[in-house]
Amino acid sequence: MRIFVVILSVFLFMSCEVASSKITSPDENIEVNFFLSQEGEFYYTINYKTKAIIDTSFVGFDLKDAPALRKGFIARVKKPVEVDERWEMPWGEQQSVRNYYKEVRVELEERDDLKRKMNLVFRVYNDGVGFRYEFPEQQNLKEVYIKEEHTEFNLTEDYKTFWIPGDWDIYEHLYSTTKLSEIDAKSYIAHTNLAQTYIPDNAVNTPVTLVGKDGTHLSFHEAALIDYSGMTLKVDTENLSFKSQLVGSRNTDYKVKRTTPFHTPWRTIQITDNAPALIESKLIVNLNEPNKLGDVSWFKPMKYTGVWWEMHLGKSSWDYGMELVDGKWKDTGKAHGKHGATTENVKRFIDFSAKNNIGGVLVEGWNTGWERWIGFEDREGVFDFVTSYPDYDLDEVTSYAKEKGVEIIMHHETSAATETYEKQQDTAYALMQKYGMHAVKSGYVGKILPKGEYHHGQYMVNHYNNAAIKAAKYQVAVNAHEPIKATGLRRTYPNIISREGLRGQEFNAWSGDGGNPPEHLPIVAFTRMLAGPIDFTPGIFNIKFDEYRKDNQVNTTLAQQLALYVVIYSPVQMAADLVEHYEANPKALQFIKDVGVDWSETRVLNGAVGDYVTIARKEKGTDNWFLGSITDENSRSFELSLNFLDPNSTYEAIIYKDGTDAHWDKNPLSLAIEKVQVTKNDSMNINLAQGGGVAVSFVKQ
Ligand code: NOJ
Ligand code: CA
């Protein structure tokens, strides 16, 4: 281990009141210390309740056509400030969020020659730390070409780590659970169905969650990813450390291009004593700027059904059977008759939604271009986002939906042909506005065009962000699939409502690797979900769907599918199964009909990463509470206190639980429904089957 001499004399303190090279969280449990080495390198450490969490960790940047920014610094420390404010989520896991932190700015300047400047800003919360780099406007640093960011996170323990590989193109991977010292992303075999994947190094993507022997929980991620590349974390298994590795491009020999002044995204470490507190942490959204869109009441959180699962099951298809003749799509009479997005079929979904308190219907495969979708190299100029197939009448569908009080959700599969999409965005969003459509699901399946770019590099970060900002001008909210990771930007641009960015339900329909195992979502709740809302698309009732795909199934019980409406947060929550599968089980459907989709409060009642989690949420605008609990492949029993319920109130609890013989594989449909009267003084015994769950509606009497 290298020994560093701390030369405090090179810190110049701007204020005589606070002459310190450390900052603590408001509750003083987290302490961040910062130093300069003899060579003028900046490094920091973090302690949590006196335990060293992050040991000597250096920072710096390698630049193109300029010396690295890594050493030779002097430092000035600004007087720390404490902020304690509240802000309101227009929709979310809770209505009001406390943003409570201490902040310090450390101004670094090169001692000699170029005298370039770079600041580090630390915000220390009771539930973790965020820091970012600011590059002020200056003479000797104007255009900045970042070849690599070197932010170190040197850990002090061989943590149990829940990780997906540092893929530059997609997050749709199963989580591995290993010791930090055993992470081996290079040996991870990516799913063969992925239309894009690139894992260049032994690195992990974020959020990555670590559990210590004493129960300390850490999760590393980033906040406010704007005009920069996504960060993966390179793993040093010997020294138990992570180091930032930015996503690059094959078209440039740098990873980020910016002009001063600018700042990087926040590098974040959530630090808690237990797993539930990780989910309750609002660090990531708090580190983002306040709402820049103002009134966004044109979007309403909603459940939705859609022409979707049927394509994944192979019951119908996205494409119609058109042909591309001289660059134009023509109906040459070769329609195969399996097209899913027909006026008639969509009306079925509208009727069903209207009858079941479901606000939206997603229609995939409505527009021309699907004949040249997956597997084609030349995808620019193929999809058209305003022209529907001959058997889909947009006028008729939207006016029928309006009559029934249901909103049609638009679908834009870009096939990662970004230039085609950018060219058409204005007309496509204007079309939506004309029809009163306020939400679009976008998709980016395939290798990015222009060639050489990756889904998670700076080019695409800008594409995703610009699409959302442009959509907002047309009162359109965005739910991107194959997206860039969520980094809390929904605070600034609330129209970024949800996204995929994980192995979603679709893998259960067609993956040849057994689908998502029962432990998948009990890991996702403590990893991916810390980043933000997930469009997972729960609610599959016909778990085995033998009629369509005998070799595939959902690996949970039916009760767990219901519980997911509460466990997974998203302001758009799909009831993903086929209408006929819901109609065959009206008793279970009642829960989907009743369950809220927008919350004033959230309580994470228990949980262990990768094992189980129980969440209670209070519906905004009613006094009803809903509870969801899910487990992995192990059965479990809990006694849950209902003390989250409102005082002096009686509720009718409708409990949808695994039958005594339920099992995710052997008997997934075994469901028992029970009604009891409860108050906050009661407790509830719940038994989860293997791969099972419980969903409860608490209706105030
Ligand atoms: C992949 C998305 O995740 C899925 O939901 C969608 O149906 C297909 N792409 C087609 O866009
Ligand atoms: Ca996907």
Residue 279: strand, helix, or coil = helix
Query: What's the CA gap between 587 and 659, in Å, rounded?
Result: 14
- Quick check: CB of 501 below 6 Å from ligand 1? no
Q: How confident is the model at residue 2 (pLDDT cuts 50, 70, 90)?
A: very low
Domain ranges of the chain: 2-286, 291-501, 513-534+550-569+586-701
CA of 477 from ligand 2 middle (Å) equals 19
- Burial category of 627 from C-beta neighbours within 10 Å (exposed 0-12, middle 13-18, buried 19 and up): buried
Q: Which distant-in-sequence residues (6+ apart) come within 8 Å of 182 by Cβ?
A: 237
For the domain covering 291-501, report its CATH number.
Answer: 3.20.20.70
Instruction: Compute the distance from residue 364 Cα to the ligand 1 centre, in Å.
Output: 8
Probe ligand 1: pick from 421, 481, 540, max atoms within 8 Å of CB? Answer: 481
Q: Report the length, in residues, of the chain.
A: 701
Q: Is 280 helix (H, G, I), strand (E, B) or coil?
A: helix
**How close is the Cα of 187 to the center of ligand 1, in Å?**
27
**How are beta strands 572-574 and 302-307 bridged, if at all?**
parallel
446 in contact with ligand 1, CB cutoff 6 A: no
- Alpha-carbon separation of residue 101 from 266, 438, 653 (angstroms): 14, 35, 38
Q: Are 435 and 405 in contact (CB under 8 A)?
A: no
441 alpha carbon, closest ligand: 1
| Nearest ligand to the CA atom of 503 | 2
pLDDT in tens, 320-356: 999 999 989 999 999 999 999 999 999 999 999 999 9
Q: Is 506 a catalytic residue?
A: yes
Predicted confidence (pLDDT) at residue 20 exceeds the cutoff of 50: no
Convert the pLDDT of each residue in 177-214 to its tens digit: 999 999 999 999 999 999 999 999 999 999 999 999 99
Rounded distance, CA 326 to CA 321, Å?
16
Does the pLDDT of residue 226 top 70, yes or no?
A: yes
55 lines ligand 1 (CB under 6 A): no
pLDDT digits (tens, 9 = 90+) for 612-627: 999 999 999 999 999 9
* Mean pLDDT value of segment 58-86: 96
Judge if the beta carbon of residue 619 lies within 6 A of ligand 1.
Answer: no
Q: Is the CB of residue 528 below 6 angstroms from any atom belonging to ligand 1?
A: no
Between CA 693 and CA 701 the distance in angstroms is 25
Best of 305, 315, 364 to mutate for ligand 1, by most ligand atoms within 8 A of CB? Answer: 364
Alpha carbons 330 and 620: distance in angstroms, whole number = 48
Instruction: Output phi, psi for 286, to 5 deg.
Output: -60, -30
pLDDT tens digits, one per residue of 553-609: 999 999 999 999 999 999 999 999 999 999 999 999 999 999 999 999 999 999 999
Tell me how far the alpha carbon of residue 340 lies from the centroid of ligand 2, in angstroms: 19
Ligand closest to 362 (CA) is 1
Asked whether the domain spanning 513-534+550-569+586-701 has the same topology as the one spanning 291-501, the reply is: yes
Atom nearest to 411 CA in ligand 1 = 11
Going by alpha carbons, the residue nearest to atom 6 of ligand 1 is: 443
* Distance, CA of 398 to CA of 432 (rounded, Å): 10
Ligand nearest to the CA of 313: 1
If one counts every other C-beta atom within 10 angstroms of the C-beta of residue 426, the result is 12
Burial class (CB in 10 A: 0-12, 13-18, 19+), 661: exposed
**Over 90: is that where the pLDDT of 18 sits?**
no
Is the CB of 443 inside a 6 Å radius of any atom of ligand 1? Answer: yes
Residue 595 has a pLDDT of: 98
pLDDT for residue 7: 40
Looking at the DSSP assignment, which residues form a beta bridge with residue 306?
362
Q: Which of 312, 317, 445 for a ligand 1 pocket mutation test, highest count of atoms within 8 Å of Cβ?
A: 445
Going by CA atoms, what residue is nearest to atom 8 of ligand 1? 443
Please check whether the domain covering 513-534+550-569+586-701 is classified as CATH 3.30.70.580: no
Per residue in 491-538, pLDDT (tens digit) is 999 999 999 999 999 999 999 999 999 999 999 999 999 999 999 999
d(CA 652, CA 438): 35
Give the span between the Cα atoms of 309 and 576, in whole angstroms. 6
Name the residue of 317, 506, 574 to mutate for ligand 1: max ligand atoms within 8 A of Cβ.
506
The alpha carbon of 415 and the centre of ligand 1 are apart by a number of angstroms equal to 10
Q: Answer yes or no: is pLDDT of 271 > 90.
A: yes
Tell me: pLDDT of 6 over 70: no
Q: Determine the Cα–Cα distance for residues 600 and 598; give it in Å rounded to an integer.
A: 7
Ligand 1 binding pocket includes 310 (Cβ within 6 Å):
no
pLDDT at 13 over 50: no
Indicate whether residue 503 lines ligand 1 (CB < 6 A): no
Q: Which residue minimizes the CA distance to atom 2 of ligand 1?
A: 481
Q: Using CA positions, which residue lies closest to atom 7 of ligand 1?
A: 308
Phi, psi of 520 (to 5 degrees): -55, -55
User: What is the separation of C-alpha 228 from the centre of its chain, rounded to a whole number of angstroms?
Assistant: 18
Smallest-distance ligand from the CA of 442: 1
User: Given a cut of 90, is residue 114 above it in pLDDT?
Assistant: yes
Phi, psi at 661, each rounded to 5°: -105, 15
pLDDT at 10 over 60: no
Paired sense of beta strands 477-480 and 439-443, if any: parallel
* 161 φ/ψ angles, rounded to the nearest 5 degrees: -120, 135
**Angstrom distance (rounded) from CA 167 to CA 164:** 8
pTM over cut 0.85? yes
For residue range 421-440, what is the model confidence (pLDDT) as tens digits? 999 999 999 999 999 999 99
Residue 95 has pLDDT above 80, yes or no: yes
Q: Are 533 and 569 spatial neighbours (Cβ–Cβ below 8 Å)?
A: yes
What does the alpha-carbon distance between residue 89 and residue 96 come to, in Å, rounded to a whole number?
A: 6
Ligand 2 centre from 60 Cα, in Å? 35
Residue among 287, 301, 230 at smallest CA distance from 494: 301
Average pLDDT of the chain is 96
Q: Given the structure tokens 């969020």, which residue do they identify?
A: 97
Q: What is the rounded radius of gyration, in angstroms, for the C-alpha atoms of the chain? A: 26
Q: Compute the distance from residue 611 Cα to the ligand 2 centre, in Å.
A: 24
Chain segment 638-656, per-residue pLDDT in tens: 999 999 999 999 999 999 9
Is any ligand 1 atom within 6 A of the Cβ of residue 506? yes
Whole-angstrom distance, CA of residue 564 vs CA of residue 558:
10
Question: Cα(first)–Cα(last) distance of the chain, in Å?
Answer: 64
Give the per-residue pLDDT at 11: 55
Active-site choice (157, 172, 506, 619): 506
Q: Give me the CATH topology for the region 2-286.
A: Beta-galactosidase; Chain A, domain 5 (2.70.98)
> Cα-flanking dihedrals φ and ψ of residue 400, to 5°?
-65, -45
Pairing, β 360-363 against β 302-307: parallel
> Is 533 near ligand 1, meaning CB less than 6 Å away?
no
413 lines ligand 1 (CB under 6 A): yes
What lies within 8 Å, CB to CB, of 382 at 6+ separation is: 324, 369, 372, 373, 376, 415, 417, 420
Displacement of CA 346 from its chain's centroid (Å): 29
Q: Which ligand 1 atom minimizes the distance to the CA of 443?
A: 11
Burial 59-70 (b: 16+ CB within 10 A, else e): bbbbbeebeebb
Maximum C-alpha span of the chain: 82
Check: CB of residue 312 under 8 Å from CB of residue 346: no
Helix residue ranges, H only, 341-487: 343-355, 394-403, 418-434, 458-473
**Region at 53 (left for phi over 0; alpha for psi -120 to 50; beta for the rest):** alpha
Closest CA to 563 of 518, 512, 501: 518
List of residues 6+ apart from 549 with CB closer than 8 A: 313, 314, 509, 510
How many angstroms separate the alpha carbon of residue 443 from the centre of ligand 1? 6
The strand pair at 407-413 and 81-88 is best described as unpaired
| Ligand 1 atom showing the smallest separation from residue 308 Cα | 7
In angstroms, the CA 30 to CA 128 distance is 7
CB 508 within 8 A of CB 515: yes
Q: Which candidate, 145, 137, 149, 140, places its Cα nearest to that of 260?
A: 137
Taking the C-alpha atoms of residue 282 and residue 95, their distance in angstroms, rounded to an integer, is 12
pLDDT, position 222: 99
Distances from the Cα of 366 to the Cαs of 218, 393, 412, 517, 651, in angstroms?
44, 9, 9, 32, 44
Q: Which ligand is nearest to the CA of 511?
A: 2
Pocket flag, ligand 1, residue 364 (CB < 6 Å): yes
Pull the structure tokens for residue 258: 């910016």
Which residue type occupies 645?
L
Pairing of β 612-619 and β 266-272: unpaired
**Cβ atoms 583, 540 nearer than 8 A:** no
In the structure, what pLDDT confidence band is assigned to residue 358 with cuts at 50, 70 and 90?
very high
Token pair of 448 as six digits: 């990015």
